[in-house]
Amino acid sequence: MRVSELLIPTLREVPAEAEVVSHQLLLRAGFIRKVAAGVYTYLPLAQRVLLKLVAIIREEMNKEGGQEIMMPIVQPAELWLRSGRWDVYGPELLRLNDRHDRAFCLSPTHEEMVTALVAAEVRSYKQLPLLLYQIQNKYRDERRPRFGLLRGREFIMKDLYSFHRDEKGLDITYRAMYDAYTRIFTRMGLGFRAVEADTGAIGGNASHEFMVLADSGEAVVVYCPNGSCGYAANEEKADSLFTPETGGVEGRLELVATPGMRTVGEVTRFLGVGAKQLIKTLLYQTERGLVAALIRGDREVNEVKLQNHLGVLSLELAGAEAVEAATGAPPGFSGPVGLNVPAVVDREVAAIEAGVTGANKADAHYLNVCPGRDFPVEDVTDIRLAAAGDPCPRCGQPLETVRGIEVGQVFKLGEKYSRVMEAFYLDEQGTKHPMVMGTYGIGVSRSMAAAVEQNHDADGIIWPPSIAPFHAVVLPVNDQDAEQTAAARRVYGAITAAGLEAVLDDRPERPGVKFKDADLIGYPVRVTAGRHTTEGLVEVHCRETGENVLVGEGEAVAAVKRLIEK
RNA sequence: CGGGAUGUGGCGCAGCUUGGUGAGCGCGCGUGCCUUGGGAGCACGAGGUCGGGGGUUCAAAUCCCCCCAUCCCGACCA
């Protein structure tokens, strides 16, 4: 294709709204344009990349027996009322009403719809397992869309849903999907890591997330640097070895004045004690009422762990009024002594001999607080957030953390949806069972942005060849030079005839403009027809390495191939 | 949802404090000349409801009120 005929509106300046590099470069290089906050149009170059990503995904899904279907994005409320998620999903579900005032939503995911379909059409164990997938737009009314394609309100997802007669069947497909995902992201040229993920309060017993490692990622991955161990989990799921430290020496409970000292930092400085001796008391509001979480002063609560432990659907820190009503003191002075709220005690707190806590009185703390003596220790568990430096739960080496962009997740759903949507099958004996389900997602549009986050330099994008919009650009330096333009056309023709995808930059622009655009757009290979065409030579340049070789016109195709296949 | 900021031609911005002069600058765009190995130069030119609505005033991009949009920060670790 000719660049003069393509819609590639590159920008010299960075649009003010773009914060992260993938957003900036995709805008500048003419891949995307914003329509509304978190909603984008994909221009021709982006569409080509998306089609490549989709082709890779489709191939690997089909290889595992997936059958592609298409489902409505607009879905009736009844479907979501049946699963209970109409109420649970909250404001992130983009809802709308039709002219008859019937309620609908734009689907953020299709478990309900696909399970209803299978419930209606599949009856027998002979029809299982069944793997259905779709690649479509999905919607999430983010409270705050940001980072361009990384956190949009409309995004493209591949979701595969698997239906099995039992856990054993699910395990096989789960493993197959895990392997397929590994192949997919490898083929996309992404540096990624599969990590253990949390399965949430309801259902499910295994999940992995596929993280593209990038500083701009919103997710934190905790991993063990010991290669032979290989432990890796997302921050919410991550465990660490329990290494109890008995802080302090048992003594008499003592009330001290701590005027205005609310935070751990303030209290430790004021009293001259270590943060490890502080017992933070956090009050959470749940649908079953207030709950206190006790955690060491130098730790943070892992709310996912806490929520799972409690088995509640909603969990959020209580407001100042609620804290005051329950403890009699403003936030900052809460403590477990005499507190009439059920408490979850972190196992590290239980090990403290004599700690410091809020006194449930404004401007006062207790010293020498003994767990068990001064307050009941009944519900002990691990509710702390793992952090860098903690010992690995498997091998004990210090853990490290890295940021990542979640591009895929595989999840064992179990029977949660099949039960509520009544997806049952009959076994050989004619007995009815709920189907066992799995769900496996890939963020397609997000993967494109993640690829840019990971593959760029000061000049622009550096597409991995497997997902580049075109493999090569052929660039005549001087568009007035008949020899150069003729050579460029010949090489372009040879490259495309060889089955590669190329563009010919035939614009009547000065060379600098064409070079800059080529770097910005990130074609993996550039073929330059310049001064050496008089000797029958063209330059073949690798965007990634900067490698530049002069070859005879006839060898240009082979040189391009070598660079994109390496 | 809370806080902050911004909204002026396609993009990036100035002008607003202290109301009144032809609404300006750079880039981009069109035409012509010229130039051709890293976003050239000259000339001419097109293009703007100053986010929207209301108000104050003889007069509003500029002051006041409301709304909308966009971006950033935060969303409470006691």
ipTM of the complex model: 0.93
**Among residues A24, A2, A141, which one has the least CA distance to residue A520?**
A24
Residue with tokens 């408490």: A343
- For the segment A120-150, what is each residue's pLDDT rounded down to a tens digit? 999 999 999 999 999 999 999 988 888 899 9
Q: How far is CA A30 from CA A21, A25, A44, A202, A395, in A?
A: 14, 8, 9, 43, 48
pLDDT at A199: 77
- For the segment A361-395, what is each residue's pLDDT rounded down to a tens digit? 989 999 999 999 999 999 999 999 998 899 999 99
Closest nucleotide to A384: CA versus each C1': B77
Q: In 3-state terms, chain A is what percent helix, strand and coil (to 5)?
A: 30, 30, 40
Q: Which bases on strand B have an atom closer than 7 Å to a protein beta carbon?
A: 1-2, 11-13, 26-28, 35-40, 69-78
The answer on A205 and A60 residing in a single domain is: yes
The answer on A327 and A427 residing in a single domain is: no
Residue A21 domain flag? no
The answer on A513 and A432 residing in a single domain is: no
Closest nucleotide to A330: CA versus each C1': B78
pLDDT at A89: 80
CA-atom Rg of chain A in angstroms: 29
Domain of residue A341, CATH code: 3.90.960.10
Residue A20 domain flag? no
The answer on A112 and A65 residing in a single domain is: yes
Q: List all residues 6 or more positions away from A313 whose beta carbon is below 8 Å from its beta carbon.
A: A88, A201, A202, A287
Domain of residue A426, CATH code: 3.30.930.10
Q: What are phi and psi of A504, to 5 degrees?
A: -110, 115
The answer on A294 and A358 residing in a single domain is: yes
HSE (CB half, 13 Å, CA atoms) of A17? 15
Q: Percentage of chain A with pLDDT > 90?
A: 74
- Report which residue type is found at A97: N
Residue A389 domain flag? no
The answer on A410 and A509 residing in a single domain is: no
- From the CA of A40, how many Å to the C1' of B30? 29
Q: List all residues 6 or more positions away from A229 whose beta carbon is below 8 Å from its beta carbon.
A: A392, A394, A395, A397
- Report which residue type is found at A432: K
- From the CA of A17, how many Å to the C1' of B54? 30
pLDDT at A462: 98
| Number of structural domains in chain A | 3
Closest nucleotide to A532: CA versus each C1': B37
- For the segment A253-269, what is each residue's pLDDT rounded down to a tens digit? 999 999 888 889 889 98
- From the CA of A523, how many Å to the C1' of B40? 25
The answer on A330 and A420 residing in a single domain is: no
- From the CA of A208, how many Å to the C1' of B7? 43
Closest nucleotide to A480: CA versus each C1': B36
Alpha helices (H) along A64-198: 77-83, 85-88, 111-121, 167-187
- From the CA of A147, how many Å to the C1' of B54? 36
- From the CA of A9, how many Å to the C1' of B60? 37
> 3-class secondary structure for A415-473?
CHHHHHCCCEEECCCCCEEECEEEEEEEEHHHHHHHHHHHCEECCEECCCHHHCCCCEE
Which residues, in sequence order, are bridge partners of residue A13?
none
The answer on A216 and A356 residing in a single domain is: no
pLDDT at A519: 97
**Among residues A211, A208, A214, A219, which one has the least CA distance to residue A192?**
A211
Question: How confident is residue A535, by pLDDT bands cut at 50, 70 and 90?
Answer: very high
Closest nucleotide to A546: CA versus each C1': B38
Look at phi and psi of residue A363 and say left if phi exceeds 0, alpha if psi is from -120 to 50, else beta.
Answer: left
Closest nucleotide to A146: CA versus each C1': B71
**Among residues A410, A506, A402, which one has the least CA distance to residue A196?**
A410
- For the segment A286-306, what is each residue's pLDDT rounded down to a tens digit? 888 899 999 999 999 998 889
The sign one gets for the Cα dihedral A462, A465, A467, A472 is positive
Instruction: Using DSSP, state whether A161 is helix, strand or coil.
Output: strand
Boundaries of domain holding A530: 470-565
**Which among A418, A452, A486 is the end of a domain?**
A452
pLDDT at A309 over 70: yes
- What length does chain A have? 566
Q: List all residues 6 or more positions away from A494 whose beta carbon is below 8 Å from its beta carbon.
A: A553, A556, A557
The answer on A59 and A168 residing in a single domain is: yes
pLDDT at A260: 84
Residue A547 domain flag? yes
- From the CA of A34, how many Å to the C1' of B23? 28
Domain of residue A526, CATH code: 3.40.50.800
pLDDT at A330 over 90: no
Tokens of A33: 């344009």
Residue with tokens 């997936």: A66
Q: For residues A239 and A245, is the Cβ–Cβ distance under 8 A?
A: no
Amino acid whose CA is nearest the C1' of B27? A12
- From the CA of A515, how many Å to the C1' of B21? 45
Q: For residues A209 and A234, is the Cβ–Cβ distance under 8 A?
A: yes
Closest nucleotide to A477: CA versus each C1': B37
Closest nucleotide to A332: CA versus each C1': B78
The answer on A200 and A51 residing in a single domain is: yes
- From the CA of A100, how many Å to the C1' of B3? 39
The answer on A152 and A55 residing in a single domain is: yes
Amino acid whose CA is nearest the C1' of B74? A144
Tokens of A462: 């550096």
Closest nucleotide to A34: CA versus each C1': B70
- For the segment A492-524, what is each residue's pLDDT rounded down to a tens digit? 999 999 999 999 999 999 999 999 999 999 999
Residue A334 domain flag? yes
The answer on A511 and A486 residing in a single domain is: yes
Q: Exposed/middle/buried for A446, CB within 10 Å: 0-12, 13-18, 19+?
A: buried
Q: How many angstroms separate the CA atoms of A326 and A44, rounded?
A: 59
Per-residue DSSP letters for A296-365? ETT--B-HHHHHHHHT-S-EEEPPHHHHHHHHSS-TT---STT--S-EEEEHHHHT-SSEEEE-SSTTEE
Element (H, E) at A408: strand A400-414
- From the CA of A95, how many Å to the C1' of B7? 29
Q: What are phi and psi of A323, to 5 degrees?
A: -65, -45
Residue A31 domain flag? no
Q: For residues A408 and A207, is the Cβ–Cβ distance under 8 A?
A: no
**Which among A391, A424, A452 is the end of a domain?**
A452
Q: For residues A202 and A416, is the Cβ–Cβ distance under 8 A?
A: yes
**Greater confidence, A90 or A341?**
A341
- For the segment A162-199, what is each residue's pLDDT rounded down to a tens digit? 999 999 999 999 999 999 999 999 999 999 999 999 87
- From the CA of A484, how many Å to the C1' of B36? 12
**Which among A350, A381, A412 is the end of a domain?**
A381
Closest nucleotide to A531: CA versus each C1': B37
Residue A34 domain flag? no
- From the CA of A319, how many Å to the C1' of B52? 37
Residue A317 domain flag? yes
pLDDT at A16: 83
Amino acid whose CA is nearest the C1' of B12? A13
